[in-house]
Structure 1
Amino acid sequence: MSLLMSLLLFAGSLKPAKATQEGPVQQSGKASYYATKFSGCRTSSGERVKQHIFTGAHRTLPFNTLVEITNVTNQRSVIIRINDRGPFHKGRIVDMTHAAAKAIGLLGRGVANVTLRVVNPNRMVSMLDNSLTLDGRSPLVPDLMPVQ
């Protein structure tokens, strides 16, 4: 048991490598979204999964990296902040919250072909569509500020 705890503590202390400044990072693959049972669970960065904000998981990008996810089928895009590791399913490049999946039309399908592009935070423009709500009252506001 103590060996398992030691390994968990060691794995939790690892920090991802810094992103290189060589140019824009782009990927193509499949995206999925977190099941509702993961709401409130801790992510790899230590934050809790909040299904109403635009965050997600990527295997290698540093935490707090902003990425634009574009659904290839309908060309709808969303910017999310990476705060978790995964997905660990072959062919998938990103997992995202329910709100982000809804914004690009991923709900109902579960998995979609997407392109992923790292966003330069100095040139980011945030747009809010008030029609995108989970409870019918409060608009989805992206939580894109880095966690300290």
Structure 2
Amino acid sequence: MKWRAELAVLAATGLLSACASTRPVSDGAVKIGKPYVVGGRTYVPRDDRNYDQTGLASWYGPGHHGRTTANGERFDMNAISAAHPTLPMPSYAEVTALATGRTILVRINDRGPFAPGRIIDLSRGAARALGVEKDGVVRVRVRRVYPSDKRRASLGAQRSAY
């Protein structure tokens, strides 16, 4: 009888871990999250390790500064970060502004944008670093990357110098 109880505990543990939304990958634990609906559109987060898209980016700042991001951090509009509707959190992407040719590394720590046709929302600091803060909406290339521990650590303390 004791083995049946142990088996039941193991089975329950396995089921609970299968439902967890966090899983380890080579660049640390990331939160995949469950599908969600915003404005009538369903978004399905996934661990797309080869994400590489070109599209429109916008930036967000004052209205969200100090609020909690989707992964529980406090949003700093002057830091170098971004919101993406489906990439895991945290994850990292290189964003290139096609108009300026500048490329930066951003940490995905929030969900968005939810405006039609946009693929990423940048913090104001990231928009400044790309030289596109005054533009509002710009064409960008977003490519998921896996920076070294050293590069990730330097990004954590980085704020826009532009």
Q: State the partner residue of 2:14.
A: none
Q: Tell me the TM-score normalised to structure 2 length.
A: 0.64
Going from structure 1 to structure 2, the CA distance change for 1:18 and 1:112 (only over 3 Å counts) comes to closer
How much has 1:35 moved relative to structure 2? Answer: 3.0
User: 1: distance between equivalents of 2:133 and 2:60?
Assistant: 11
Aligned length: 117
Q: Is the 8 A contact 2:48 2:87 kept in 1?
A: no
User: 2: distance between equivalents of 1:69 and 1:34?
Assistant: 15
Give the one of 98, 122, 127 matched to 1:72. Answer: 98
Q: Is the 8 A contact 2:46 2:86 kept in 1?
A: no
Q: State the partner residue of 2:156.
A: 143
Unmatched 5+ stretches in structure 2:
1-19, 22-30, 33-44, 158-162
Q: Which has the higher helix share?
A: 2
Unmatched 5+ stretches in structure 1:
1-12, 127-140
User: 2: distance between equivalents of 1:57 and 1:84?
Assistant: 4
Q: Which has the higher strand share?
A: 2
User: 2: distance between equivalents of 1:19 and 1:59?
Assistant: 12
For the pair shown, the structure with the greater C-alpha radius of gyration is 2
Q: Does 1:85 align with 2:111?
A: yes
User: 1: distance between equivalents of 2:46 and 2:58?
Assistant: 25
CA RMSD of aligned residues (A): 2.6
Q: State the partner residue of 1:104.
A: 130
* Correspondence list, 1:1-16, <5 A: 15-16=31-32
User: Quick one: higher RCO (CA 8 Å, sep 6+), 1 or 2?
Assistant: 1
Identity value in percent: 35
Letter of the 1:19 counterpart: D
How much has 1:87 moved relative to structure 2? Answer: 0.3
